[in-house]
């Protein structure tokens, strides 16, 4: 059984205990984890270990076969999964995308901020991925779940993302650049195969 005892002190926003989940049959678990405000927790494991399914189970999109998920009352969840929808030929701008989730544009990296007025289908894969991440990361939420956030990002993008994640979890904790997030102090749960990135940003990891 994969387990995470948490940081002990802060009451969890989200907790799973002995969770076994999947679709037609269980593909992950049993796993336990706790996520408190201000924490960044990583879920790591090989391809097919069920990392994305675990995120889906936490948001009710996958079936829970055993165990339980507890959420703080009134919990607001933001979630970004791997597959972005088709955007070719759709006249939708970056600014409109952020407005949909309620994410502020302030704090975007300098290589993306000037392109907010452009259509999504005119952005590069990396810019688009970062914009989707930003829209979910900075949406008003208590818990943010991100699935493979470093996909399609170049080293600059990964570095900027790492800083943004820390600021989102612990705003005002002395990060280098201005944050800009409207809502403060979220718990972040990340799924990634990028071990170096996870080591750099996560407070602790759960291995599946």
70 binds other proteins (CB under 8 A): no
Among 11, 48, 68, 92, binds other proteins (CB under 8 A): 92
20 binds other proteins (CB under 8 A): no
Contact (CB, 8 A) for 187 and 142: yes
Residue 115, Ramachandran bin (φ over 0: left; ψ between -120 and 50: alpha; else beta) = alpha
78 binds other proteins (CB under 8 A): yes
Among 9, 110, 114, 117, binds other proteins (CB under 8 A): 117
DSSP 115-158: GTTSBGGGS-HHHHHHHHHHHHHTSS-SEEEEESTTTT--HHHH
Q: Is 88 helix (H, G, I), strand (E, B) or coil?
A: coil
Q: Tell me the closest approach of the beta carbon of residue 173 to other proteins, in angstroms.
A: 26
Residue 184, Ramachandran bin (φ over 0: left; ψ between -120 and 50: alpha; else beta) = beta
63 binds other proteins (CB under 8 A): no
Say if residue 125 is exposed, middle or buried (CB neighbours under 10 Å; 0-12, 13-18, 19+).
exposed
71 binds other proteins (CB under 8 A): no
Tell me which residues in 138-197 interact with other proteins (CB under 8 A): 139, 145
Among 135, 158, 202, 206, binds other proteins (CB under 8 A): 135
Cβ proximity to other proteins, 69 vs 159, nearer residue: 69
Q: Phi and psi at residue 107, in whole multiples of 5°?
A: 100, -5
Distance between CA 31 and CA 79 in Å, rounded? Answer: 20
118 binds other proteins (CB under 8 A): yes
Among 11, 60, 68, 182, binds other proteins (CB under 8 A): 60
108 binds other proteins (CB under 8 A): no
Among 27, 97, 108, 191, binds other proteins (CB under 8 A): 97
Chain residues in the site for other proteins (CB under 8 A): 59-61, 76-81, 85-87, 89-93, 95-97, 100-101, 117-119, 132, 135-136, 139, 145
């Amino acid at each position: 059984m994969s387990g995470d005892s948490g940081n002990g002190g802060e009451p969890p926003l989200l907790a799973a205990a002995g969770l076994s989940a999947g679709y037609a049959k269980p593909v992950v678990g049993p796993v336990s984890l706790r996520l408190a405000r201000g924490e960044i927790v990583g879920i790591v494991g090989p391809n097919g270990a069920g990392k994305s399914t675990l995120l889906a189970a936490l948001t009710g999109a996958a079936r829970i076969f055993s165990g339980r998920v507890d959420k703080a009352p009134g919990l607001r969840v933001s979630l970004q999964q791997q597959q972005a929808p088709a955007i070719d030929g759709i006249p939708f701008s970056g600014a409109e995308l952020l407005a949909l989730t309620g994410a502020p544009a302030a704090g975007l990296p300098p290589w993306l901020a000037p392109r907010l007025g452009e259509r999504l289908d005119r952005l590069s894969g990396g810019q688009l991925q970062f914009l989707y991440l930003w829209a979910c990361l900075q949406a008003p939420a208590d818990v943010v779940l991100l699935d493979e956030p470093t996909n399609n990002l170049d080293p600059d993008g990964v570095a900027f993302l790492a800083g943004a994640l820390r600021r989102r979890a612990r705003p005002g904790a002395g990060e280098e650049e201005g944050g800009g997030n409207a809502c403060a102090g979220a718990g972040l749960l990340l799924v990634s195969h990028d071990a170096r990135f996870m080591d750099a940003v996560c407070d602790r990891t759960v291995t599946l």
